Every structure is written in C-alpha cells, then in structure tokens.
Amino acid sequence: MEYVYAALLLHKAGKEINESSVQAVLSAAGIAVNESRVKALVASLDGVDIEDAISKAAAAPVAVAAAPV
C-alpha cells in the first residue's frame, strides 16, 4: 500500500506521478523500491481520475459504525 500512498502524496503536492517521482518518495522513506511495482502502479493510474477516487473516500464516515451484523 505504500506505493499507493506515494502516489497520493505526489498528487496532493501537484507533482506528476511517474516512475522516478514515486521512486524518490519511497526511497526517502527508506524503502527498498521494487521497480516493477512502481511501473505497475504508474501504468494502472494512467487515465484514472484521482480527485474522483479521493472524493469517494471523503464520503466515508470516520468514526466506526455499529458492529457489522
């Protein structure tokens, strides 16, 4: 999931999400970066409306609801 957080971080910072930017963020966190996972992430995000995905999460209630039945 850390790869996805890196993408969100870059998005929030207004930076392009590409292989080198994702790699830079992960490396800064001290993570041994798996290049293929970075590629897969960047490829899968092509054409995705990130703002839209974020807004869907924003609708979530934040405190925990009653226990699942």
* Residues touching other proteins, count (CB under 8 A): 32
Q: Please name the residues in contact with 38: beta carbons below 8 A apart, sequence gap of 6 or more.
A: 3, 19, 22, 23, 26
Phi, psi of 47 (to 5 degrees): 85, 0
Site for other proteins in 25-54 (CB under 8 A): 36-37, 39-50, 52-54
* 21, interface contact from a second copy, other proteins, none, CB < 5-8 Å by kind: a second copy
* 20, interface contact from other proteins, a second copy, none, CB < 5-8 Å by kind: none
How far is residue 20's CA from residue 29's CA, in Å, rounded to a whole number?
14
Supply the minimum distance, in Å, between the C-beta of residue 42 and a second copy. 9
